[in-house]
Amino acid sequence: MPKKVRRLSLLVALLVVVVMAIPAAAMAAVEAPVLLGTTSSYAVLAGSGITVAGPVNSTTINGDIGTFPTTSITGLGNVVLNGTNQDGNTLTQGAKTDLITAYNDAAGRTGGVSIVGNELANKTLTPGVYKAGSGVLYLSSGTLTLDAQNNPDAVFILQASSGLTIASETNIELVNDARFCRVFWVVPSDATLQTGSHFVGHLFAMNSIFVFTGATIEGQLLARNGAVTLDNNTITNGLCTSQSPASLHVIKHVINDNGRTSVAHDFSVHVRTTGGVDVALSPAAGVEAPGITYTLDPGTYVVGEGAHAGYTVSFSGDSDSSGGITLVAGEDATVTVTNNDTAQGGGTENGGETENGGEIPKTSTPLYDVLLLGVALMLVGSVGWRIRKLLG
């Protein structure tokens, strides 16, 4: 009996540990995007050549193309290329190296959720890593929906264990702020995008990528070793736009080690664009930690302050030493503006700066009044003396 109890309690303890571990694992599943390196400008990148079938100008490629070490591109005349043909040049060679890095990054993401039956048909996936079982991963019919849950930076990584087949007339749909540039497919074998399908994301294939008539791609086709074959397609490697805002916390910290008395809210804090335009909520009176929080579009900004005599200013935290800071989407940055009072001794009688709105001293003496009084009295006196003389 005591043995049984002990075993039970051990089981309960184990269960508790497991239950606690699950949310921890789920929290760790916030994925960073896969860094594309110099592959990012390519719409089509291959290892053993590119072939484009179909009539003249029937395929549109928005982005660069290149292939290495086999540098043959067949059917280039069938392509409307809104990008640069980098063929097998050094840029392509560099991109091929970066592709290996990106591939390994995407393939190496752990904790993937199993894709039941290796089938994506009519499924809705939330952000995270998904892992296929052995065999080909299919989107065999209908629509695969990727739901970013209103986070435009949400990342989807889909790991095939062998090939990938996107069947005819299937669709991949992005909802709730999901973006093509945050979707990554890693395929250790061949990838096939069949007739009329619509594919979304960065496709890293170890071998070849076969794209059939009329398929459209929003993203990239990147084949490490094999070829890329196209036929009447549109491939768009567009800009990764509509980024989520960043948060900027500006803390104003005042040090009075020389006897001055200004506090944070005596200073005005500015957050300006590089063009010198104040952002919303700027300028504002300074606030000690946690400071003021600004919600800003990604970009470069300059933190500054209004003139305030008697204090030096320095910037620390995520900005450079003059308050410049570049925010990326979703970043949570903090800049501390520290004001240290300068040595004094002079200053004003109160020690600080010149007072604001002091009364201008009265600087009239009664001398003019007395002068006038004197003149008047002299006049009266002389007139009086004259009258008395006349009377006398």
Partner 1 sequence: MGIGCFAWAAYGIWAQSDAQLDAAAGVSVPSVEPSPSPVPATPEPALYPEHPAKGDKIGSLEIPVLRRTLPVIEGTGAKELARGVGHYAGSVLPGEDDNCVLSGHRDTVFRQLFKVKIGDPLVVKTSAGTFTYEVKRTRIVHADDKTVIVPADHAVLTLTTCYPFNYIGSAPDRYIVSADLMMSD
Give contact residues for partner 1 (rule: CB under 8 A): 307-310, 312, 342-351, 353-365, 367-382
76, 81, 84, 80: which is closest to 50 by C-alpha? Answer: 76
DSSP 135-195: S-EEE-SSEEEEE-TT-TT--EEEE-SS-EEE-TT-EEEEETT--GGGEEEEESS-EEE-T
Which lies closer to partner 1 via its Cβ, residue 104 or residue 348?
Answer: 348
Q: What is the dihedral of CA 226, 231, 232, 235, to 10 degrees?
A: 0
Least separation in angstroms between residue 259's CB and partner 1 is 11
Picking from 209, 127, 125, the residue whose alpha carbon sits closest to that of residue 172 is 125
Nearer to partner 1, 235 or 303 (CB): 303
CB of 383 to partner 1, least distance (A): 11
Least distance to partner 1 from the beta carbon of 107, Å?
A: 55
Residues with Cβ within 8 Å of 356's Cβ and at least 6 positions away in sequence, in order, are none
Answer left, alpha or beta for residue 232, where phi above 0 means left and psi between -120 and 50 means alpha: left
Quick one: which of 207, 209, 147 has its CA closest to 182? 147
57 or 354, CB closer to partner 1? 354
C-beta of 119 vs 266, nearer to partner 1: 266
| Closest distance of CB 282 from partner 1, Å | 18
In the complex with partner 1, the residue whose CB is nearer, 278 or 332, is 278
Structure tokens at 377: 């009295």
Q: Least distance to partner 1 from the beta carbon of 374, Å?
A: 3
* Least gap, CB of 345 to partner 1 (angstroms): 4
The first and second tokens of residue 1, run together, are 């009996």
User: Closer to partner 1 at the Cβ: 238 or 381?
Assistant: 381
Beta bridge partners of 316: 336
